[in-house]
Each structure stands twice: as C-alpha cells, then as structure tokens.
C-alpha cells in the first residue's frame, strides 16, 4: 500500500529550520493570501461608509447597511469552504483547489478596484467563492505532508500560522495605509497584486511537493486513515456506524435547513442592494423572516437531536459536548469579530490618531521597528528557502523575490512618508457654538467650564446674526513645505484639516458642483511651524491583533505545557472573559465622551491586547475536539455545525457592529461596548460552570 513517504521519498532532505522546504512555500502562499484578505477587509467598511464627497470618497452608506453587507460576506466565508473541501477531496485535488481559489480571489480584488456597485459586489462574491476553494485545502496539503511524521505536525502548524499572522499584519498595515492615504482602489489593487504573485509562486513550486495535493485517484492515503480510525474504534462504536446511516428524511432536512440558511445569509444584502425580499414580509402577522429562520433552526435542532439519539450513550454524550462548545463559539466570534466593523469605525471616528512632538517621534520609531524587524526575519527565511529550492523551483523563488522587493518598497515608502511630514498651525474663522446634552443643558469640562464646538466658516456655513465668530486654530500634517504667513485653503475630513493643492481643490469643487452643494473649502493662514506630527491611519490599529498573537503565542503555549493546563471548558470560558475585559476597557475609556470627542489611542491598544489574549486561550478548543469526539459517520455534519456556529457568530458580529452609531445616538458609545463586555462574561462563566458536566460528557477525551 502506497503512502506519502513512497510518493515523495526525499521529502525531508530539503529542510529549512528543521522542516521541509515545502512547509515554507505554504507559509508564503498563505501569507500573501492573508495579506490580500485582511488588506481588503480593513478597507471595506471604511470605503462603504465614507462620504461621497471628499478627498478619498466612498459610498456614504449607513453603518447599519454596511454592517449588513459585511455580515453576508463574513457568514459565507465560513460556509463555502465546506463545499470547496469536498470538491478538492473527491475530484480536483488540494493543489488545483488552491490555485483555482487563488485565481478567483485575484479576480475578486481586481473587480473591487473599479469601486462601482456592480464590480464591488462581484468582487465580494468572487472572494467568497475563491476562499471556499483555498481555505480548507492549504491545511489539507500541510496535513498530507506530515502524515508520516505526526511528531513534527505541531511545530509545522505553529510555523504555518505565523505566516497567517504575518500576512494579516502587513496586509492591514500596507493596504490600509495606501487605501486611506492615496485612494481605496489602490489599497484594493495592492491586495490583488500580492494575491496573484502568491498564486504564481505556489504554482511554480510544484517540483518541491511531488505528488502531494495532486488530483485524487482513489486516494490510498484516505484508505490508510480509514483503516486506522476503524481499528481505533470499540466494538460498540463499530456497531453504531453500521446501524446509523443517513435516512431519506435526514437528507431532506439537511436540504431544507441549507436553503433557509443561504436565504438568511443573502436576505439583508439583497434588500439593501436591490430592494429584493427573500422572505415574506409577514406570516400570521409576524415578521416573515423571523418565522422562517426560527422554523429552520428548529428543523436543524430536530435533525441533530434525532441523529444523536440513535447512537449509544458514550458517542451521544460526546456529540452533545461538541454542540455545547459550538453554541458558546457563537458568542466568542460575535464579540471578537467586532475588529472588522465597529472597532474600525471607532478607530476612525472616535480615537485620537494625531500625535505631535515627542509622541509623534516615539510612534515613528516604534512603527519603524514594528515594520522593519518582522520583514528582516521573514526575508531571512526567504533566503534560507531559496538556498534549498532555487535549483528545483527557480521561477517560484524569482516570484517570491519580486513580492519581497514590492513589500519592502511599500514599507519604506510608508515610513518615509510619515518621517517626512511637516506640521503647521493654521488659523481660520469659525463660529463658536456651546455644546449641550440631550436635555439641552450646557456640557461642562472637568474644571466646570463650558465646552464649545467650532464650525469653520465656508461657503456652505455662513454666519448668521448673533453668531459668535472667533479665530480658531488647527494643527495639520502635510508633506508640502509652507512658510509662516502663507495663505492656504483647507478641507475638513474625519475631523482633521487637509491643505489643498490645485488638483485636490479642482477635484473637490467638481464633486460639490455635481452634487449641487456649496463648497466646504476653508480659507486659512499658516501662523506657526510646529514640531513633527503624524496621523495614524484607522487601519493601523487592526495590526495589533497579529502583533500580539506573534508576541504572546509562545508564552501561552508554554503555559499549557506547564502544570497549569486546565480543561477545555475552563480555557474557553477564560478566553471569553479575558476578551470581554478588552471591551470593558473601551466602555470605560469612552464613558462620557460626546460627539466630536476623541479618546486616547491607548484604550484601543489595551483592548486589542485583551482580545488577542482571549483568542489564544480559546484557540485550543476548536476543530480538534470535533475530530476527537465525533464518530466517523457524523464527522462531516458536525464539522459543518462547527463552521455554521462560526459563520453565525461572524454574521451577528457584523450586524451588531453596524449598530454602533444607532446605539451611541440612543444611549452612548460606552453602552455599545458594555454589550460586548457583559454577554461574553456571562457566556464564559456559564461554560466554566458547565465544566463538570462537559467532562462527564466527553468520557475521558482530553
């Protein structure tokens, strides 16, 4: 019987850092895919909600609608891989699935660069389909590589997921910076370029992999796995597999729930884009969507329960344990994935992102080290890989070299731009308006003094009789050089002023004329040359999750290798609670702030720290428990259940994240973050309290 070793006998002869060179080809392929995925994701919600008139205009969609669009996208990302995995395993092979998925995603990123409604939605559809092919099959190739070397698999996955986080880190940093500073389509385009290059380097690396990931031919390796799994079963478990086949009713229920699930996933997006309702408005006087979705959940529940009840006690109990974990998984992702929606909006609109003087200098030094050091390390790995594989896969190495020249170029350009910016104090005429609360009472500061807003005077905001006109100042950061006393024209966007050159002014004037609005261009004078100033992009904060994962992963891993290695439910509960602390930090930091007020960026930094720590605590409890606890005949359905729980969590995250402005207007920003503080803490305490029950249900599985 042939196995992986015979198909590729010298697989471990070409090694990098003690692992096969093929692992690092996968590392870089995944890195560039994650670069493009997260680079696009960090821009999407901003682009959708930015004003249609501005220096970097968007669609001016409400945050609620943008959240609903993203919710559909996020949910489908965890559903299509189920089908992509099946197609690869049975028909096209893992390698072709990765290539097909990569090319489809490249087309998706390319479509989004046009920024038109048709191409933007087409791009999102292509990204969902491409991810379905790509996502499950990269890890399948990795698993097949190490099938004969299980003792090295944990180390291989650690290296692989460092590639995931490195890609996310640089994608959000560089695509986010270019998208926000130069134009959204440039950010989307950069994501697509690296997706294409990553695809090519993987394709040309085929000689390194041999037969691994090829089109299946009655996969002998699957037979080996099946034999092992059957030998590991007890006689009672083998009898269970024989007497519990899927019935016709089971298949019908699966089809019904799948249809309802897809209709639910698409319903909001279809209504927002084309005013098309996928559910009846009302059924028996109740919202039709609610009725159908509840019915679908009840059918799914019946399907799961009816199948579980057909098994003997041990297997039945273990599957119940999986369902309990899957249920709490919804609450984790519902909160954690705020990083894709509400936290980006909070960073953009409510966080103080302009630093001056020593603070700007410290940030530039930190950001330079944060960018250059990881790039140096990964470039060193690239050189080690080239030494081992350049003769066997020349073109793959050439393309990898091109990608690194590109990413180094983009990083140096970004850093140079921030280091080269100049800060100026501008003076302009403004209308002074006293701030009041919802009840009309004057808002006072900590010294009991009135708080004022200053509305710049321009063609669209002319003073009325009785208005208090004052000279007001603002600090701006520009690449251009100005002198004290220079008269300039400025435009306010996202609470910050930008000095206009002739091209920017011409663009803005054309947009205002097109919209039949008075221009909002302000006349100002440079009154002082200031110390260095830097404006941090809203996207930059998203890289903190990847940074903290890389920094903390080994520490948490050592914790689990020590005497303190709590049961799965304790880990998961602690993960939920620690993540909730991050939202508690934001709730505290945003307490009492009013419209137009910005909080210290450190609140967001601490929030991402706790979110990442919570993720690392929860990550051991996942798909590995599904594979350990579930019998062979139910494995596909239960994997589907687990991914469905993650999909629902992501969907709820985007929809709830889209409510940030609504909840803030009705209550406060602090209340919004309190929701994601209280709910995960309650869920975490519940899953910890269930530890004795879960331990009993797992029947010795650890």
- Please indicate, yes or no, if residue 633 is contained in any of the structural domains: yes
The pLDDT score that the predictor gives to residue 108 is 97
For residues 660-677, average pLDDT? 94
Q: Are residues 508 and 623 in the same domain?
A: no
The per-residue DSSP string of 176-221 comes to HHHHHHT-HHHHHHHHHHHHHHHHHHHHTTHHHHTTTTPPPSS-HH
* pLDDT value for 443: 83
Indicate the residue among 501, 531, 561 that finishes a domain. 531
The count of structural domains within the chain is: 3
pLDDT-derived band of residue 85, with 50, 70 and 90 as boundaries? confident
Beta strand spans in 419-499 (E): 422-434, 452-456, 468-478, 487-493, 496-499
Residues 465 and 591 in one domain: no
Q: Mean of the per-residue pLDDT values for the chain?
A: 88
> Where residue 234 falls among pLDDT bands split at 50, 70, 90?
low
* Of 256 and 220, more confident: 256
Give the per-residue pLDDT at 233: 53
Q: 301-310, 506-515, 654-663: which range is least confident on average?
A: 301-310
Stretch 542-549: mean pLDDT, rounded?
95
Angle, CA 111 vertex, CA 107 and CA 114 arms, to 5°: 155
**Do 563 and 640 share a structural domain?**
yes
**434 located within any domain:** yes
Q: Which of 30, 185, 22 is closest to 102 using CA atoms?
A: 30
Q: Is residue 145 part of a domain?
A: no
CB 489 within 8 A of CB 524: yes
Q: Residue 546: which H helix or E strand, with range?
A: helix 543-561
Q: Would 592 be classed as within a structural domain?
A: yes
What are the distances in angstroms from CA 47 to CA 37, 176, 193, 268, 655?
A: 15, 11, 19, 19, 17
Whether residues 637 and 561 fall in one domain: yes
pLDDT given for residue 134 in this prediction: 92
Q: 502 with 574, same domain?
A: no
Residue 554 — pLDDT band, cuts 50, 70, 90? confident
How many other C-beta atoms are found inside a 10 Å radius of the C-beta of residue 464?
A: 6
Does residue 676 form part of some domain? yes
pLDDT exceeds 60 at position 240? no
What stretch of H or E contains 530? strand 522-530
The CATH number for 581's domain is: 1.20.1250.20
In this structure, the answer to whether residues 570 and 685 fall within a common structural domain is: yes
Domain boundary among 478, 509, 531: 531
Considering the chain, what percentage of its residues have pLDDT values greater than 90? 61
pLDDT category of residue 9 using cuts at 50, 70 and 90? very low
CA distance 677 to 57: 34
- Asked if residue 188 has pLDDT above 90, the reply is yes
Rounded mean pLDDT, 444-469: 89
Asked if residue 471 belongs to a domain, the reply is yes
The predicted model gives 10-26 an average pLDDT of 78
Tell me what the mean pLDDT of segment 306-325 comes to. Answer: 85
Residue 509, pLDDT > 60, answer yes
Residues 522 and 605 reside in one and the same domain: no
pLDDT, residue 239, reads 59
**Percent of residues, the chain, with pLDDT higher than 70:** 91
- For the chain, give the number of residues: 702
How far is residue 399's CA from residue 401's CA, in Å, rounded to a whole number? 5
Q: pLDDT tens-digit profile of 393-417?
A: 999 999 999 999 999 999 999 999 9
SS3 content of the chain, % helix, strand, coil (to 5): 70, 10, 20
Please say which residue of 309, 327, 361 terminates a domain. 309
Q: How confident is the model at residue 229 (pLDDT cuts 50, 70, 90)?
A: very low
pLDDT at res. 464: 92
Residue 389 resides in a domain: no
Do residue 524 and residue 546 come from a single domain? no
Q: How far apart are CA 262 and CA 158, in angstroms?
A: 34
Look at residues 265, 109, 79, 263 and name the one whose alpha carbon lies nearest to residue 185: 109
Is 381's pLDDT higher than 50? yes
Task: Tell me whether residue 220 is in a domain.
Answer: no
Euclidean distance between CA atoms 673 and 591, whole angstroms: 10
| Confidence class for position 122, pLDDT limits 50, 70, 90 | very high
Q: Which of 58-72, 416-430, 506-520, 549-563 has the lowest mean pLDDT?
A: 549-563
Residues 48-66, mean pLDDT to the nearest whole number: 95
pLDDT band of residue 624 (cuts 50, 70, 90) is low
Nearest by Cα to 587 from 615, 606, 573? 606
Quick one: average pLDDT of 329-344? 95
Lowest-pLDDT range of 143-147, 275-279, 473-477:
143-147
Residue for token digits 């008269």?
Answer: 487
Q: Judge residue 558's burial from the number of C-beta atoms within 10 Å of its C-beta, 0-12 exposed, 13-18 middle, 19 or more buried.
A: exposed
Are residues 618 and 555 both part of a single domain? yes
Instruction: Give the lowest-confidence range in 12-26, 169-183, 459-473.
Output: 12-26
Q: Which domain holds residue 626?
A: 316-337+539-702
pLDDT at 602 over 90: yes
Among 9-23, 215-229, 451-465, whose mean pLDDT is lowest? 215-229
Locus of tokens 């070299």: 401
Claim to verify: residue 474 and residue 562 sit in the same structural domain: no
545 and 659 fall within a common domain: yes
pLDDT, residue 226, reads: 39
What pLDDT does 236 receive?
A: 57
- Do 370 and 682 touch, CB atoms closer than 8 A? no
When mean pLDDT is compared across 10-24, 108-122, 620-634, the lowest value belongs to 620-634
Condensed to tens digits (0 to 9), the pLDDT of residues 290-307 reads: 999 999 999 988 888 888
Q: Is 176 helix (H, G, I), strand (E, B) or coil?
A: helix
DSSP label at residue 337: G
Does one domain contain both 626 and 587?
yes
């Amino acid at each position: 019987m042939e196995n992986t070793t015979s198909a590729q006998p010298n697989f471990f002869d070409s090694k990098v850092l003690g692992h096969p060179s093929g692992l690092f080809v996968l590392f870089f392929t995944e890195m560039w895919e994650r670069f493009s995925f997260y680079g696009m994701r960090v821009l999407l919600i901003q682009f959708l909600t930015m004003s249609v008139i501005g220096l970097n205009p968007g669609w001016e969609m409400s945050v609620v609608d943008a959240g609903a669009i993203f919710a559909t996208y996020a949910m489908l990302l965890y559903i299509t891989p189920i089908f992509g995995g099946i197609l690869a395993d049975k028909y096209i092979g893992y390698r072709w699935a990765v290539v097909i998925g990569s090319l489809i995603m490249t087309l998706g990123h390319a479509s989004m660069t046009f920024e038109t409604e048709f191409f933007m939605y087409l791009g999102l559809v292509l990204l969902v389909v491409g991810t379905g092919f790509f996502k499950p099959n990269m890890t399948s190739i990795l698993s097949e590589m190490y099938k004969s070397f299980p003792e090295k698999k944990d180390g291989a996955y650690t290296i692989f997921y460092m590639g995931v986080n490195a890609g996310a880190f640089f994608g959000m940093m560089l695509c986010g910076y270019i998208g926000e500073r130069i134009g959204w389509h440039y950010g989307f385009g950069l994501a697509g370029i690296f997706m294409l290059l990553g695809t090519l380097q993987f394709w040309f690396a085929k000689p390194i992999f041999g037969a691994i990931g090829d089109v299946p031919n009655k996969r002998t390796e699957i037979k080996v796995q099946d034999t092992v799994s059957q030998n590991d079963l007890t006689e009672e478990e083998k009898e269970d597999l024989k007497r519990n086949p899927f019935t016709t009713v089971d298949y019908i229920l699966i089809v019904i729930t799948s249809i309802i699930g897809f209709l639910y996933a698409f319903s909001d997006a279809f209504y927002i884009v084309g005013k098309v309702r996928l559910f009846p408005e009302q059924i028996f006087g109740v919202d039709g969507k609610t009725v159908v979705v509840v019915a679908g959940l009840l059918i799914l529940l019946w399907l799961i329960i009816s199948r579980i009840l057909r098994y003997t006690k041990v297997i039945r109990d273990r599957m119940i344990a999986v369902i309990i974990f899957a249920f709490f998984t919804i609450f984790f992702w519902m909160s954690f994935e705020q990083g894709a929606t509400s936290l980006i909006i909070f960073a953009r609109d409510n966080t103080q992102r302009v630093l001056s003087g020593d603070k700007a200098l410290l940030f530039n030094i930190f950001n330079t080290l944060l960018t250059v050091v990881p790039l140096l390390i990964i470039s060193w790995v690239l050189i080690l890989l080239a030494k081992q594989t350049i003769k066997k896969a020349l073109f793959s190495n050439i393309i990898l070299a091109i990608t690194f020249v590109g990413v180094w170029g983009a990083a140096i350009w970004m850093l140079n731009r921030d280091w080269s910016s100049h800060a100026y104090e501008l003076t302009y005429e403004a209308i002074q308006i006293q701030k009041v609360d919802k009840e009309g009472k004057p808002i006072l500061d900590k010294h009991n003094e009135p708080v004022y807003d200053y509305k710049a005077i321009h063609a669209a905001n002319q003073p009325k009789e009785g208005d208090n006109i004052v000279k007001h100042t603002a600090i701006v950061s520009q690449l251009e050089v100005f002198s004290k006393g220079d008269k300039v024209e400025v435009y306010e966007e996202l609470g910050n002023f930008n000095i206009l050159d002739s091209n920017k002014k011409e663009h803005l004037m054309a947009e205002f004329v097109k919209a039949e609005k008075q221009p909002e261009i302000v006349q100002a004078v440079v009154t002082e040359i200031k110390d260095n100033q830097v404006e941090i992009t809203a996207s930059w904060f998203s890289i903190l999750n990847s940074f903290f994962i890389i920094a903390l992963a080994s520490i948490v891993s050592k914790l689990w290798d020590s005497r303190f290695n709590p049961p799965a439910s304790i880990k998961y509960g602690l993960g939920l609670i620690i993540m909730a602390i991050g939202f508690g930090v934001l709730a505290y930091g945003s307490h009492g702030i009013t419209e137009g007020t910005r909080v210290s960026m450190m609140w967001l930094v601490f929030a991402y720290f706790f979110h990442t720590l919570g993720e690392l605590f929860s990550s051991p409890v996942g798909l590995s428990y599904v594979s350990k606890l579930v019998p062979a005949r139910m494995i596909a359905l239960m994997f589907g259940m687990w991914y469905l729980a993650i999909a629902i969590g992501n969907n709820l995250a985007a929809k709830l994240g889209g409510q940030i402005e609504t909840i803030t207007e009705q209550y406060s920003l602090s209340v919004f973050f309190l929701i994601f503080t209280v709910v995960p803490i309650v869920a975490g305490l519940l899953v910890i309290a269930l530890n004795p029950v879960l331990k009993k249900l797992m029947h010795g599985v650890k």
